Amino acid sequence: MHDDDWFKRAEAALISTGRSLNEPHDNRPVVAVYGAYDAGKSTLVKRLLVEAGQPVPSWLTISARPETFEANDVEAFGCVLRDTPGIAGGNTRHQNAADRALLDADVTMLVMPPQLLTGNRDHVLARITGSAYRPVGLFTPESWMFVITKLDDGEDPSENLPAYYKRLELKRAEWGKLLDSNCLPTDAVPLFAISADPYGEVGNDPSPEADSYTAGCSEWDGVADLVSALRALPDRLSQLRQWTRLRRACTLLRDALAEAENLHARADQSATEARNRKHTWIAEFGEQHLQLIEVGRSVLSCEVEEELNSFFTRRSNDDEELRAKIEAICNGWLNRQLAALANLAHDSDARLPPLDTVSISVAPLSKEARPSKHKAALEPTLQKTLAKPFGKLAQDAIGLTQHVKLNGKTTNELKKALDKERKKEPTGPSVKDLESLLQTSQWLDHCKKAAPTIANAALAGIDLIIADAHRRANAEASAKEVAERQKLLTEFASSAAVMATESIAPLFAAYRDWLDAEAAHCDEVINAANDEVALSSRRIEMLRDLIENAPVPRS
């Protein structure tokens, strides 16, 4: 069964996991006495010590309760007898201690009561078949001794020896059936029927002699056969030690494999959790953080715009009222944003600087934004332009009256002259001339009377047109002034809102920095976990290969 190359590879693999074969240095076979706490292991060890002429140690006590709490070694027949804690007693620590004692044992003496494996049957069978050491099994029959004790309980073999042997054969058959059902040969390991303390005569006697045990029981107590088997073990130590070495190596490899698989699973879980945290948890809070900023800015803008619209609708000129309200709106918004950020930090367990109250103070409005009390001035050229046509009309009327005076005769005088000529010659040429002059004079008289009215109308028309022009000019100037004022007020309110957002921006940036740091930490965890997964995967593959290709025991 020698396979030096396999052992070298196994040793190297174990060293890489912090383990070592630590092969036993004792040159005597180690026999682990293994079994249930009530199987009579300590009683058997005590009887063997007496048979070997060895003193009984003080720790070796006999009781129906568990009395052995750790593995203890004694020497007998050129071997080291290792009394182990009882299994199947519900004490995991005792069972683990007993299982560990088997690793360095060259032979395992399985001690069973008449009921055989009443508890932890699968656990014990896994060690007999070797499936506890490697999946395909590692059965080494030379490394086992099967012992049934207490067959004399309830019936004295001395009085009915055939019945005792018949009972023994039934137990052998029952044990053989159990082995066969687990694909184990029924005759590869000897089965000893032992009555270590017939009738319980010795019990807890600390220093019994060989003849302390009832005489006449040697024919059926089976102790002699077991002693002979123990005496033969030192001569087979080399072969036994090879199997011990193989069993121990496979056990340590299985432990290393379980550890590597556990590390692989934990690393994979760690990477998965980090990825989930980054892509789900951190991303979710990042989205909430962004929404808080964007929605917050939108809300502040709407509140400021609403206040401006109200101010413009009222046509208010109270600039201080507007400044105070804009300042109140900004500070109220800041408090709400700060509270929302604090809640977000609490929900995400973010480590941020203290979130103290934040407020701003809005400066008074500039003079340019205040309403003007001056009216628009009418262009002088407008008056000249309007006065020219109306002035000419007035002058023409005045000129006509002056023209009448230049003829030298008034209308009355023309009337008298016409009457005189009509008397002389009613249809003469002079009459027609005078009639024409009279009509013209009358028309001129009419014009003379209308001239002041025309002049006054012209001047009144000028005043009306000029007044209307003034109204139009003032309206245009007022609209322009209002638009400019609204623009300045809007810029003022916007600057206040910008001041508010900038005052709280460092706190939001600190939270974003924390999220970025958490994401970077997740990346570090993911990378480290992936490295561990890759390393453990290679180690798992190596360990499985070693376990599956372990040397096959050969007699």
Under a CB-based contact definition with an 8 Å cutoff, are residues 60 and 46 in contact?
Answer: yes
Rounded Cα gap, residues 67 and 207, in angstroms: 18
At 271 the pLDDT is 94
User: Looking at residue 385, what is its pLDDT?
Assistant: 58
Residue 507 three-state SS: helix
Q: How confident is the model at residue 189 (pLDDT cuts 50, 70, 90)?
A: very high
CA–CA dist 282, 515 (Å, integer): 7
146-177 per-position pLDDT tens digit: 999 988 876 778 888 888 889 999 999 999 99
Beta bridge partners of 195: none
Domains in the chain, ordered, with CATH? 30-232 (3.40.50.300), 380-502 (no CATH)
Structure token digits, residue 332: 């109220």
**Neighbouring residues of 475: CB distance < 8 A, sequence distance ≥ 6:** none
Contacts of the segment 136-141: beta carbons below 8 A, 24+ positions apart: 136/548, 138/246, 138/247, 138/250, 138/550, 138/553, 139/184, 139/553, 140/243, 140/246, 140/247, 140/553, 141/185, 141/188, 141/189
**What pLDDT sits at residue 257?**
93
CA dihedral angle for residue 312, residue 316, residue 319, residue 323, rounded to 10 degrees: -60
Q: For 108-129, what is the mean pLDDT?
A: 89
Average pLDDT of the segment spanning 461-475 = 68
Has residue 208 got a pLDDT over 70?
A: yes
Alpha carbons within 13 angstroms on the beta-carbon side of residue 27 total: 0
Is the C-alpha dihedral spanning 481, 486, 489, 491 positive or negative?
A: negative
Q: 233 Cβ partners below 8 Å, 6+ apart?
A: 29, 31, 77, 78, 79, 106, 107, 240
| Residue 1 reports pLDDT greater than 70 | no
